[in-house]
Structures are given as structure tokens and as C-alpha cells.
Amino acid sequence: MYSEKIIERFVSPKYAGGLRGANGTGRCENEECGDQVRLYISVNDDNVITEAKFKAYGGVCTIVALDVACSLIEGRSLEAALRTNHYQILEEMGPVPESRDYTANLAVEAIRAAIEDYYKRKEKETKK
């Protein structure tokens, strides 16, 4: 059912886990299937994502999509990370069942939510 590439990434996700000191957190869920994800980012003073991690409650493709998303945004500017789309994530994942395409959209939503959270936190800091 799943490609070797997906199975390998699912068994050993590089970016799974929490991130101490994260200055942006994106939380998203798919209400239809119950998948829930959190994506954590650490951003430096140059607005570059220096580290990205995730936690997920969901199936194989959800975990793989979040792992791929982290790999795509780590080391990139916030602006570049915001340009990440579900097609890029699906391409990196390889073949997925059509019924699991939504997982790439969930990952993109988590990226955007984490960056939005980062900007909100930064705005609060500047108001102090």
C-alpha cells in the first residue's frame, strides 16, 4: 500500500519530537479523520528557521507529511517557508493513496500557523 520511501520515513522520522525554546508553534487538525499535529520552529534574528520539529496524532501519511515539511523549511527564511505548498510535500513523499492527499495540506497549514504564531510572539515582545 505504501512505498518503501514512505515506510522508511515513517519508521524513522528525523524531525519527530518537541522543541525546547521554540518561538513558533502551529497546531492544526483534520476534524474528519481526527488527525492532530503540532509543528514547532526556532527562528533566529535573521528570520531563518534554524530548527523544526513536530508531534502528530495520525496515520502513516500524516507523520511522513510533517517530517517532510520540517525538512523543507529548516534552514529557510520565513518568507521561503511560507511558499511551501502541498505539491512540494507530496512530491517529496512519493506516491500516496489519493485518500491521504489531505495530509500534505495539513502540514502546510501547520507551517503557516507556526510562522503566524512566531510573528504574534515577536509583536508582543516589541510592545513590552
Q: Where are the domains of the chain?
A: 4-119
**What percentage of the chain carries pLDDT values higher than 70?**
99
Q: Measure the CA–CA gap between 128 and 62, rounded to whole angstroms.
A: 38
pLDDT digits (tens, 9 = 90+) for 80-106: 999 999 999 999 999 998 889 999 999
Q: Measure the CA–CA gap between 9 and 123, rounded to whole angstroms.
A: 36
Give the mean pLDDT of the chain.
95
Model pLDDT, residue 13: 96
**Class of CATH domain 4-119:** alpha beta
pLDDT digits (tens, 9 = 90+) for 65-80: 999 999 999 999 999 9
Model pLDDT, residue 127: 80
Is 45 a residue whose pLDDT tops 70?
yes
Model pLDDT, residue 68: 98
The mean pLDDT of 29-51, rounded to a whole number, is 95
Q: Measure the CA–CA gap between 42 and 84, rounded to whole angstroms.
A: 17
Is 1 a residue whose pLDDT tops 80?
no
The mean pLDDT of 16-24, rounded to a whole number, is 95
Q: Is 104:75 a contact under the CB 8 Å cutoff?
A: no
Q: How many residues does the chain have?
A: 128
Is 128 a residue whose pLDDT tops 80?
no
